[in-house]
Chain A
Amino acid sequence: MALISDGRFIEDAWRRLADEEALPKTGKFIVSLPRLEHAVEVLGPTATFGVIIPNTTEPSALIAALPRLDLISIAFPAFADGRGFSLARLLRRAAFKGELRASGRLVADQYPHAIGCGFDTIEIPDDLAERQDEGQWRAALNAYSMSYQRGYAGRGSILEARRKAVRS
């Protein structure tokens, strides 16, 4: 797996726990959704952990755990399955402030979409990272100077810019 953040391939500080693995005492780790409730119960307030969720998860199922989570990874079962984008928006709306990660075979060209919807990092398989190197991800990040939407992250909004032009 390769991890992209701010247009660079970086070392992943997080470890995905297999379901049969015991919860560790230290370190950053990611549990599956079925284990989340248990993890929240038994882990102390200082534990640093996250969860990986299917893109069909109802955000309400996570609300109680949100303040405890430092990372949420949304699985993209196929790169063209855009449900994860809406789910990311909803989690940000629910005031999730931790790292939001898209995990799957996303292609570089989707980077601005992911950023716009509130993702911080993208996790892709190695074979894909080999074909789509860092340069392509960085280029995608800078492909557009602005966007037509408002309230989406990343680029500046054209509507805002026009509004400023009138009012100044």
Chain B
Amino acid sequence: MTAVDLRVAQRPNAPMTTYRYDEYDAAFVSERVAEFREQVNRRLSGALTEEEFRPFRLMNGLYLQLHAYMLRVAIPYGTLTARQMRRLADIADRWDKGYGHFTTRQNLQYNWPKLVDTPDILESLADVEMHAIQTSGNCIRNVTADHFAGVAPDEIEDPRPTAEFLRQWSSLHSEFSFLPRKFKIAVTGAAHDRAAILVHDIGLRVVKNDTGEIGYQVVVGGGLGRSPFIGKVVGDFVPREDLLAFLEAILRVYNRFGRRDNKYKARVKILVHEKGIDEIRAAVEAEFAAMDRSAFDHDPEEFARIAAFFAPPPYESLPATSALLRAAKLETPAFANFVDVNVGAHKIPGYAIVTVSLKPIGGVPGDATSEQMRVLAEASERFGFGELRVSHEQNIILPHVKQDDLFALWSMLDAAGLATANAGLVSDIISCPGLDYCSLATARSIPIAQAISKRFSDMSRQRRIGKLGVKISGCINACGHHHVGAIGILGLEKKGQESYQITLGGDPTFSASIGEILGPGVTAEQVPDVVEHLVDYYLAEREEGEAFIDTWRRIGHARFKDVLRREGEDGADI
């Protein structure tokens, strides 16, 4: 599609790197808001009971939490414009307490909205082409994608057009809005998996076959929660024109045969586990063969229309390395550390991908104040074509920054308390809200994250330790992804006391693995000690170039267990 395509809304000063609503999208979202406004009225008038209202408010992202409602706003495939980020800040100020929480599934949560305000919040979101549709509930959830989409050097294809295609297809689906349980889809188009596709209900990986044709490897049945599973391949190469039909076949099999007798066994991962992937594959293939595929009669024009929105911004042609950057690094060591840790390679020479950590030492992982959101919006406009991304590690990405601009950007971030140089390091912790907000929690998780982060506050020590994923959940539901943390921490309750179970060896990428339990649970106070002992042991044992998980894989779980047992006998009481 070219700029003369009238279906593509042209707006002055708007970045062109992400999807824009056309009249149909805009009408759909505003009808959704109007419908929800009525649903709230009908709930208040008693026409809808709470039980009846529940799935509809959930499908609009509204949870009832420990202290208040919580509204979960979708950031489809993690892409945001500066304008949208500013609107998120405005909403936080006007209807919440001046901050928001970025989650592990490319959503933003407000923790304190009032029920009666939510239709207005949704309207305010719709105004900037955002919504809270299907961020919760037993339906197809917000589709997530690699946060480095479109800029990563290791990419076959930008996964976002696929994700947007699926966002539309799954919106208010007539057949699949009352599934046995929630259904999460993630897409990656790169050689390295940054979207954790193997722990999603469906993971899609863009692949090329021998003839150079693009298709998808389709993985089904991954998931965390109380019984974690790594997804299994159900379709090795699904051509693009068959994707929607193939997904619909999977969803139909799941909708009909997924368990509904026990909500803890209702995810598709349990169906796959109980029936076996071969039986599921056969059922999906039979359904696919029986379908009227003319309804999907693939529309290359529609895919191209969507893909055109994700065109690269007008990059300048620059030398691969920047002399300015080199000089600034020499002059300012703190900046050099930031660049070494938070800045990644970009596919275009002279550009870089910047991760802005929302994990200040001792802070709440993923929280951002409205002021910080505005700084990020401003930074993206000055230095990054007005585009931002949200990662599942709960950080913000500026995907297209000129290397020459890095120092100016860093200075701006630093002044706003947003220059913590810990992306991927031990204090870049994923944590769920836990007992501080969540009604299902069995233990605190944010304070544990804060304690670990403070224990490792020496940044040079963190850099020496290197890449290390610490992930914390406040109950078995695993929102904090502890199963796939190299060090996973799960908060439980034992006889009225918080007790933390530690697992090692989890990995959310293509080499996915579920962490193994280290030993008996420990108290909240002991968690930082245990993490520290584990890290010290790793430092003593590691070989050149090994990350924590590599050392653990090489020398084995038992050796790490031994360390702790010995520490315990030495009187450390672990």
Contact = CB atoms under 8 A, between A and B. Distances in A.
Asked if A pairs with B, the answer is yes
A144 B28 contact: yes
B27 A146 contact: yes
A132 B175 CA distance: 22
21 contacts: A79-B178, A82-B178, A82-B179, A82-B255, A86-B252, A110-B178, A112-B174, A113-B174, A144-B28, A144-B172, A148-B172, A148-B173, A149-B169, A151-B292, A151-B294, A151-B295, A152-B174, A162-B24, A163-B299, A163-B302, A165-B7
Nearest to A162: B302
Given A89-B252, A163-B299, 14 more contacts: A80-B55, A82-B177, A82-B179, A83-B256, A86-B175, A117-B174, A143-B35, A144-B172, A147-B174, A151-B295, A158-B24, A162-B22, A165-B7, A166-B301
Contacts of A86: 175, 252, 255-256
Contacts of B22: 162
Interface residues of A, number: 40
B296 A82 contact: no
Given A116-B175, A117-B174, A148 B256 contact: no
B67 interface: no
B48 interface: yes
A115 B172 CA distance: 13
A148 B252 contact: no
B168 interface: yes
Interface of B: 7, 22, 24-25, 27-28, 31, 34-35, 38-39, 42, 46-49, 52, 55-56, 138, 168-179, 252, 255-256, 260, 290-292, 294-296, 299, 301-302, 305
A48 to B, nearest CB: 29
Contacts of B252: 86, 89
Given A79-B52, A82-B176, A148-B171, A136 B299 contact: no
B175 A150 contact: no
Given A132-B47, A146-B27, A159 B175 contact: no
A107 interface: yes
Interface string A84-120: 0111010001000000000000010110110111000
A61 interface: no
A165 B7 CA distance: 8
Nearest to B24: A158
A145 B29 CA distance: 11
A145 B295 contact: no
A159 B260 CA distance: 33
B255 A83 contact: yes
B52 A162 contact: no
Given A136-B47, A139-B38, A81 B178 contact: yes
A149 B292 CA distance: 14
A114 to B, nearest CB: 8
Nearest to A113: B174
* Nearest 7 pairs of A and B residues by beta carbon: A151-B295, A116-B174, A82-B178, A158-B24, A148-B168, A143-B35, A113-B174
B435 to A, nearest CB: 28
A145 B292 CA distance: 24
Contact of B295 (A83, A85, A132, A150): A150
A131 interface: yes
A113 B295 CA distance: 17
A108 to B, nearest CB: 8
A145 B173 contact: no
Contact of A89 (B31, B46, B56, B175): B175
Decide if the interface of chain A is mainly helix, strand, loop or mixed.
helix
Contacts of A113: 174-175, 177-178
A146 B348 CA distance: 40
A154 B301 CA distance: 24
A158 B168 contact: yes
A13 interface: no
A154 B172 CA distance: 13
A34 to B, nearest CB: 21
Given A86-B255, A151-B296, A109 B39 contact: yes
Contacts of B138: 80, 82
B119 to A, nearest CB: 14
B240 to A, nearest CB: 15
A136 B273 CA distance: 42
A113 B22 CA distance: 24
Nearest to A116: B174
Interface string A128-143: 0001100010010001
A143 B138 CA distance: 21
A84 B193 CA distance: 37
B475 to A, nearest CB: 23
Count chain A CB atoms within 10 A of each CB in B52, B176, B302 and give the residue with the most: B52
Given A80-B55, A148-B28, A148-B169, A85 B301 contact: no
Contacts of A131: 46-49
Contact of B178 (A80, A112, A159): A80
Contacts of A147: 172, 174
B292 A93 contact: yes
A161 interface: yes
Contact of A81 (B24, B27, B38, B260): B260
Nearest to B22: A162
A159 B299 contact: yes
Contacts of A144: 28, 31, 35, 172
A117 B179 CA distance: 14
Nearest to B46: A131
Nearest to A112: B174
A112 B59 CA distance: 15
A68 B296 CA distance: 31
Contacts of A149: 169, 173-174
A113 to B, nearest CB: 5
Contacts of A148: 28, 168-173
Contacts of A82: 138, 175-179, 255
Contacts of B55: 80
Contacts of A161: 24
A143 B34 contact: yes
Contacts of B38: 139
Contacts of A152: 174-175
Contacts of B169: 148-149
B24 A146 contact: yes
Contact of B27 (A85, A116, A117, A145): A145
